[in-house]
Amino acid sequence: MDFFWQAPPVTRTLTALTLVQSALVHGGLMSGFHVIYLPSLIFKWRPEIWRLATPFLLTGPGLSFVFDLYFMYHYGSSLETGSARFDRPGEFFIYLLFVAFTLMLTAGAYFGAMVLTSPLIMAFVYTYSQDNRGKRVRFYFIDIPVVFLPYALLLVSMVMLGWQSALIESMGIISAHLYDFITRIYPTFGGGRNFIVVPAFVERYFTRHTANVGYRGYGTASRPARAADQPESGPLPSSWGWASGVQGSWNGRGAGRRLG
């Protein structure tokens, strides 16, 4: 349990909820129909508001159950603890809310996807690849720049699962890039204002509940992350060469596949 509580708060909560819900659905203890994204059941009298969150907490069956959880935890925790763009307490949480809301409008409402876990993970991968520009990663049997990793995964999804699945997953890239544009690119290079800020109450909450953050009278200070949380300075782990070979498994739900 110490390992669990030492994990970054947003990622550990997201991964734990995904583990529980997916185990219940794939174990036959709960119908997947009650957790998929159906706007008609959300915006009605007696709205089923839990469907705003549950579509992001459902992995694929079989091996995809393991890989979805691993990728969600690995890239989520890497961003939450090791990304310079999330240097304020609660900023990763706001990023997650923004990406999830954008995916509901694009992949969900527009393209009809009922499970949104894959595009959410793809958003994590895209942001991670932008944070690690200049590094290379093993993809199958070749080394590629890490910034090309999301697009290589989309190509694999298109070949193995069809263009519709790749299109839905690409909404994760668009959502993450939109957040990057609003919060960094436009304010820095366009002279505009960043309208996505961390509310004071959210920042106070995460300041109190994040171990490596201290709140001072003159501002917020972050203590150095644990050695295990520090991003590698060398090439990225070669495990992606093996993991990418099964990447299609966590995309294997396809677009709008009903469960239960």
Count the domains in the chain. 1
Question: What pLDDT is attached to residue 252?
Answer: 42
Give bridge partners of residue 144 from the DSSP assignment.
137
The fraction of the chain above a pLDDT of 90, given in percent, is 62
- Whether 243 is in a domain gets the answer no
Least confident of 23-32, 44-53, 158-167, 246-255: 246-255
Q: How high is the mean pLDDT of the chain?
A: 82
| pLDDT value for 218 | 37
Cα–Cα distance for residue pair 116/100, rounded to 1 Å:
8
**Hey, is 213 helix, strand or coil?**
strand
Residue 216 lies in a domain: no
- Least-confidence region, from 138-152, 162-176, 199-213, 240-254: 240-254
pLDDT tens-digit readout, 27-41? 999 999 999 999 999
Taking residues 10-30, what's their average pLDDT?
Answer: 96
- pLDDT of 211 reads 58
Strand partners, 256: none
29-43, 116-130, 143-157, 242-256: which has the minimum mean pLDDT? 242-256
> Residue-wise over 147-164: b if at least 16 C-beta within 10 A, else e?
bebbebbbebbbeebeeb
pLDDT digits (tens, 9 = 90+) for 215-224: 333 344 444 4
Q: How far is CA 33 from CA 23, 30, 114, 258, in A?
A: 15, 9, 9, 7
Any domain includes 255: no
Q: For residue 20, is it within any domain?
A: no
- Helix (H), strand (E) counts: the chain: 11, 4
Question: What is the per-residue pLDDT for 227?
Answer: 41
Q: pTM higher than 0.95, yes or no?
A: no
Above 70 in pLDDT, residue 213? no
Task: Give, in order, the Cα–Cα distances in Å from 154 to each of 151, 159, 195.
Answer: 5, 9, 30
Tell whether 178 is covered by a domain: yes
Closest CA to 209 of 9, 12, 11, 14: 9
User: Would you say residue 244 lies in a domain?
Assistant: no
Structure tokens at 75: 């890239």
- Choice between 36 and 211, residue whose per-residue pLDDT is larger: 36
In a domain, 15, yes or no: no
* 88: three-class secondary structure by DSSP: coil
pLDDT at 243 over 50: no
pLDDT at 210: 67
Helices (H), the chain: 2-6, 9-26, 39-42, 63-82, 91-103, 117-131, 149-161, 163-180, 186-189, 200-209, 239-243
Which of 23-37, 45-59, 181-195 is predicted least confidently?
Answer: 181-195
Question: Would you say residue 254 lies in a domain?
Answer: no
- Residue 52 to residues 14, 243, 252: CA-CA distances in angstroms? 14, 29, 22
Give the pLDDT score at 58: 96
User: CA–CA separation, 221 vs 24, rounded Å?
Assistant: 40
Q: Domain span at residue 105?
A: 32-198
